[in-house]
Amino acid sequence: MNPPTGFAVKTHSEQRTRRNAEDLRGLGRLATDAVTGVTDMVEAMHRTIGGLAPPLGQGPTGPTSGIAGLVYRSVRGVTRLVGGGVDMALSAAAPLLGESQPAALRAAAVAALNGVYGDHLARTGNPLAISMYLCHANRVLHLDRKPLPTNELGPHPLLLLHGLCMNDQQWQRNGHDHGAALARDLGYTPIYLHYNSGRHVVDNGRELAHLLQQLFAAWPQPMQSLTLLGHSMGGLVARSAVHRAQLESLPWLKSLRAMAFLGTPHHGAPLERAGHWVDTLIGFSPYSAPLQGLGESRSAGIKDLRFGHVAEALPSGKQRLDLRRPVPLPIGVHSYAIAATRGASDLPNDRLPTDGLVPVASALGTHDNPTLALDIPDEQRWIAHGRGHFDLLNDPEVYERLKSWLQGSQAQ
């Protein structure tokens, strides 16, 4: 099935090998954007103070005039001129700077940068912007090129989706990788998603839905089952992709047998809600309003964690107060959820603290509003007490729980 108008399926030809000049160009562009943004903020504060604006309400708008306005325009102009010159020079020098296999630290730093500013990087065409692709055995799967390796890909693919500010290689933690372990114990073929976690969850979900259709068509043997395993934001991206596949009746959905969520903020995370309210309070005064841009500059992906968005907003006039719409889990697909908490097992569930990032109820998909609650059976929910958010990636009890659940779903 063809993608909707206006959406282009990428070829996913990005390699792990990187041109060194591209990293330098990306950092140079980001520095140029930062200087320009700070200049805009300072000019806005100057305009407000010079205009003797009231302490609350709307301040003066438009560019500053006179010598001050000339100075600000000059700073922006020189910054863009220098940034453009550096970008052109690095582009020309790219063959001389060569290529390299990025180290784990570099890959983690770029993933974190994309988590915080990924939508800006993608929108401005910054070379540091991460594109979406699938990996197996630490190699990119080129779905648009040669046939996939038949002897390595079995009938039970397991797609692992990482969380915010992370990458596909970070499923390996303290010597353990859920994907590798499930391949060893249950015969799964682990496939790892690499994506820009700063983009809107809906945008990543839409792209993943079509990427999975490519994978389904290119798979060297019939898919007996497809399982999605998401950590943190990865679970939201998985749900969004399934929702998009349902809307478009994509054939790969027929192979989906199970979805497992580790610390996924199905109903949002309190830190992002706090950030939203801080931005709102800052915006009340024209003297502090320019600083609002610092908070607003966080990525669309982070903002989606306010309530756990997995679908497009409702049409104008039908929007809910909390900006959410109910997106149920797919019927006939086994769904599992594990929440972590720093609290002890003797505390009641409604008093358990978060895992450091995600509340227990949010991770389990429970909600006081029945239209928003996820229909996951109680026996397919579990709480890991005395653990943090990232312990879900390598905790032995978490793995054993996952293994027993998925073994049961394979047999059905």
Residue pLDDT, tens place only, 163-200: 999 999 999 999 999 999 999 999 999 999 999 999 99
Q: What is the overall mean pLDDT for the chain?
A: 77
Q: Which amino acid appears at position 13 of this protein?
A: S
Alpha-helical (H) ranges within 65-147 are 66-92, 94-97, 104-123
Residues 6+ apart with CB under 8 A from 229: 158, 159, 160, 161, 178, 179, 259, 260, 262, 402
Q: What is the pTM of this model?
A: 0.77
pLDDT of residue 397: 97
**pLDDT level of residue 142 (50, 70, 90 thresholds):** confident
H/E segment holding residue 209:
helix 201-218
Of 6-15, 48-57, 93-102, 267-276, the poorest mean pLDDT is in: 6-15
What is the C-alpha separation between 252 and 17, in angstroms, rounded? 30
Summarize the confidence of residues 312-321 as an average pLDDT: 55
Question: What percent of the chain lies above the pLDDT cut of 90?
Answer: 46
Helix (H, G, I), strand (E, B) or coil at 251: helix
pLDDT in tens, 213-222: 999 999 999 9
The residue whose two tokens read 């041109």 is: 19
Residues 6+ apart with CB under 8 A from 64: 43, 46, 47, 50, 72
pLDDT of residue 151: 84
What is the C-alpha separation between 330 and 309, in angstroms, rounded? 16
H/E segment holding residue 326:
none
Measured from the Cβ of residue 274, the count of other Cβ atoms closer than 10 Å reads 11
Helix (H, G, I), strand (E, B) or coil at 319: coil
pLDDT of residue 17: 57
What is the C-alpha separation between 59 and 162, in angstroms, rounded? 42
pLDDT of residue 109: 80
**pLDDT level of residue 272 (50, 70, 90 thresholds):** low
Is there a contact between 267 and 372 (Cβ–Cβ < 8 Å)? yes
Q: Which amino acid appears at position 127 of this protein?
A: P
pLDDT of residue 126: 83
Residues 6+ apart with CB under 8 A from 47: 59, 60, 61, 62, 63, 64
Strand order in the sheet with 256-262: 139-140, 133-136, 189-194, 157-161, 226-231, 256-262, 334-341, 381-385
Question: What percent of the chain lies above the pLDDT cut of 70?
Answer: 65
What is the C-alpha separation between 283 and 267, in angstroms, rounded? 26
- Burial of 194 per CB tally in 10 Å (0-12, 13-18, 19+): buried
Inform me whether the pLDDT recorded for 276 exceeds 70.
no
Q: What is the DSSP letter of 210?
A: H
Instruction: Identify the residue with better confidence: 8 or 264.
Output: 264
For the ranges 220-229, 312-321, 344-353, the maximum mean pLDDT occurs at: 220-229
What is the C-alpha separation between 138 and 200, in angstroms, rounded? 26
pLDDT of residue 365: 96
